[in-house]
Amino acid sequence: MRKIAILGIGQTKIDEHWDLSLREIGGNAAFAAMQDAGMDKVDALFVGNMLSPLIDGQNQLGTFFSDWIGLWKREAVKVEAACASGAAAFRAGLIAVASSDVESALVVGVEKMTDKAGHDVTAALATAADADYEVEQGISFVGINALVMRRYMYEFGWKHEDFAPFSINAHANAVHNPYARLHEKITVEKFEKSSMVATPINLLDASPIGDGAAAAIIVPAERVASVSGRPRITVAGSASATDSIAVHSRKDPLFLAAAYESSKRAYEIAGLRPQDIDVFELHDAFSIMSALSLEACGFAERGQGVRLGLENKIAPTGSIPVCTRGGLKARGHPVGATGMYQIVEVVQQLRGECDKTQVDGATIGMAQNIGGSGATILTHILQAD
């Protein structure tokens, strides 16, 4: 496989875009990435999306967007892995370019979720869980995560407020990200007093849904010199791993085995260790997931992930900055698009474009995207030359 580089990125603000259609949202991010890359054609299109059949009545999003973007005749396909659809599409595009089958690919993660009522979205999100053995029992997706969080608190002796730093950090960083859905700082008091969703997960433990799209153009690394003074961003490691789809089938429901496995492989491919990572865009769909990701990826001991928040090591100035653009918690979580937002944000960090939340001298960044309750996990490590 040849090495690949990310030549251009684009994204839309995450919001309730009732004035924009699904094609406009995805198209806007795609056009932005093409403009950023200085390209108006690519060989292939890979679209990451989870919910458009259920919420927008539209399948076949690959061709839906190749048509809209003007990539006539070109190859196009949709990739779906629940909330990990964005990174899964990125990995599919990466492999296509790395294989030499195509010379360039556009990857778009896109989701339009707010046209339906909340209970419809909750039902749609539950399709990420096991329909036969979880959803059939009446549990929602947040309910599953709530069971995991409660067990974690019980096993390792943490209180609910110990998770506050994850949300506080995410909200503080999102203030400086114009593409973020939420631009509001929060405090421990506010965190503790927010409304309950599924005990112990309250509103400020949980990421908001939204409409949005993020995109990237990938090409063989050898084709890329430094573009107008920007560093060249290459993919140093890419790996995907799976676990059981139902949480109850796991020997240890408090360990993200697929995060461990995919990060281990990505580290190996890149020849790097956890301590080499300058910035980590993790999948904080719920605050508990931040702790579990940090533990599985080698940044904390089992049961000690929350300590990194309490010791303020996750801030942009900390030893392992996470959610530097707001994370899922405050940038927002348009599910099938999230993985591509993470990739785009790591590129922004490695380019040094993050202003007040810029991680000083960041040259190596990691993005981790989770589908279901830890069922499908993809890890990508990007590097600036």
Residue 226 tokens read as 């430094």
The yes or no reply on residue 1 touching a second copy (CB under 8 A) is yes
Whichever of 258 and 277 has its CB closer to a second copy, that residue is: 258
| Contact pattern for a second copy over residues 60 through 89, marking x by CB under 8 A | xxxxx-xx---xxxxxxxxxxxx-----x-
| Nearest residue to 286 via CA among 208, 369, 384 | 208
- As measured in angstroms, the least distance from the Cβ of 313 to a second copy is 29
- As measured in angstroms, the least distance from the Cβ of 122 to a second copy is 13
Judged by DSSP in three states, 177 sits in coil
The yes or no reply on residue 35 touching a second copy (CB under 8 A) is no
**Contacts of a second copy in 96-155 (CB under 8 A):** 96, 98-101, 124, 126-128, 130-132, 135
The yes or no reply on residue 362 touching a second copy (CB under 8 A) is no
- CA 362-366-368 angle, to 5 degrees, is 150
- As measured in angstroms, the least distance from the Cβ of 328 to a second copy is 17
Whichever of 23 and 181 has its CB closer to a second copy, that residue is: 23
- As measured in angstroms, the least distance from the Cβ of 56 to a second copy is 6
In DSSP terms, which residues pair with 47 in a beta bridge?
78, 108
Among 108, 245, 259, 314, binds a second copy (CB under 8 A): 245
Burial of 311 (0-12, 13-18, 19+ CB in 10 A): exposed
**Contacts of a second copy in 253-272 (CB under 8 A):** 257-258, 261
**Contacts of a second copy in 188-207 (CB under 8 A):** none
Among 36, 111, 211, 243, binds a second copy (CB under 8 A): 243
Among 35, 187, 249, 317, binds a second copy (CB under 8 A): 249
What type of residue is 158? W
Those residues whose C-beta lies under 8 Å from the C-beta of residue 350, and which sit 6 or more positions away, are 231, 233, 362, 363, 364, 365, 382, 383, 384
**Contacts of a second copy in 274-303 (CB under 8 A):** none
Please, what is the end-to-end C-alpha distance for the chain in angstroms?
Answer: 19
Please count the residues of this chain forming the interface with a second copy, following the rule CB under 8 A. 63
Whichever of 66 and 202 has its CB closer to a second copy, that residue is: 66
Those residues whose C-beta lies under 8 Å from the C-beta of residue 38, and which sit 6 or more positions away, are 7, 8, 227
Whichever of 31 and 156 has its CB closer to a second copy, that residue is: 31
Those residues whose C-beta lies under 8 Å from the C-beta of residue 36, and which sit 6 or more positions away, are 7, 8, 9, 10, 217
- As measured in angstroms, the least distance from the Cβ of 203 to a second copy is 25
| Nearest residue to 285 via CA among 242, 256, 311, 312 | 256
Whichever of 77 and 175 has its CB closer to a second copy, that residue is: 77
The whole-angstrom distance between residue 119's C-alpha and the CA centroid of its chain comes to: 23
- As measured in angstroms, the least distance from the Cβ of 378 to a second copy is 9
- In order of 96, 227, 232, 233, the CA distances from 3 in angstroms are 11, 17, 12, 11
Cα–Cα distance measured from residue 317 to residue 362, given in angstroms and rounded to the nearest whole number: 11
Cα–Cα distance measured from residue 184 to residue 171, given in angstroms and rounded to the nearest whole number: 6
Could you list the active site residues? 83, 333
Which residue carries 């309950």 as its tokens? 196
Among 6, 26, 28, 56, binds a second copy (CB under 8 A): 56
- As measured in angstroms, the least distance from the Cβ of 63 to a second copy is 4
Binding site for a second copy (CB under 8 A): 1, 21, 23, 50-51, 53-54, 56-64, 66-67, 71-82, 88, 91-92, 95-96, 98-101, 124, 126-128, 130-132, 135, 239-246, 249, 257-258, 261, 371-372, 375-376
